[in-house]
Amino acid sequence: MMTRIIEANSRKVLGTGSSRAARNSGMVPAVVYGPSMETLNIEVKAYDLMMAMKAGKFFTTAQSLKLDGKDMQVLPRDVQRHPVSEKVTHVDFSDFDPAREVRVSIRIKAIGEEESPGIKAGGVMSYLRNDIEVLCRADSIPDFIEISVADLKVGESAKLSAEDLPKGSRLTEDREFTVLNILATRTTKGADDEAEEAEGEEGEEGTEAAAEGADESSKS
């Protein structure tokens, strides 16, 4: 997959004032770190960063930096945003080694909604987890992990285990995770509920008829 080149410069001066100046000039402060290198303090071009993020798969794909004129492959690890404006204020990258095992959070994607008896009956999916942490090679990070809800009824849950992961990925914990439920809604009614309502209505009508008959008898 082709990635957009992100222009970057080394930062010689650090601190709040320097970071503010970088952002005002269209740059975003960042760091690059790795087990076999010293941490680099850099700044990346905000426009290039925005376009790379909009392209999708930002956290699961190696990104290309042009750092002080030299090419460098990195893997995005964290993005910090302003609490009000949502603008990116800082980015963490790690150096990219294709063979290195990395710990990443992968989005969970439900499939089979059209076949789910619970959803057909009016139930809705409720995610308990939107992502799951896995270990995998840096060059084989999955974009998402699929979990089927095709057989789920109302009140049932979907669980994710190691068997559901793409080849080459493994869970950070050796256990199952409940990731979503099929919940009942006001429109989710079974035949038993409808029958009980019908019986209740018939009972009320019988009581009313008996009361009317008693009134007529007393009048006569």
* For range 57-81, the mean pLDDT: 94
Whether residue 156 has pLDDT greater than 70? yes
What does the DSSP assignment read for 92-137?
Answer: EEEE--TTSEEEEEEEEEEE-GGG-HHHHTT-EEEES-SEEEEEEE
Sequence ranges of the domains in the chain: 5-96, 102-183
What is the pTM for the complete model shown?
0.71
The CATH T-level fold of domain 102-183 is: RNA Polymerase Alpha Subunit; Chain A, domain 2 (2.170.120)
The mean pLDDT of the chain is 86
| pLDDT tens string 129-155 | 999 999 999 999 999 999 999 999 999
Give the range with max mean pLDDT: 14-18, 39-43, 173-177.
39-43
pLDDT in tens, 185-211: 987 755 345 434 444 554 555 445 445
Q: At the top level of CATH, which class does the domain 5-96 belong to?
A: mainly beta
Please check the confidence at residue 213 and state whether its pLDDT lies above 90. Answer: no
Is the pLDDT confidence value at 180 over 80?
A: yes
User: Tell me, what amino acid is at 174?
Assistant: D
Judge whether residue 214 has pLDDT over 80.
no
- The answer on pLDDT for 111 being more than 80 is yes
What is the model's pLDDT at position 220? 47
Q: How far is CA 4 from the centre of its chain?
A: 24
Res 3: pLDDT: 65
What is the arithmetic mean of pLDDT over 83-111?
94
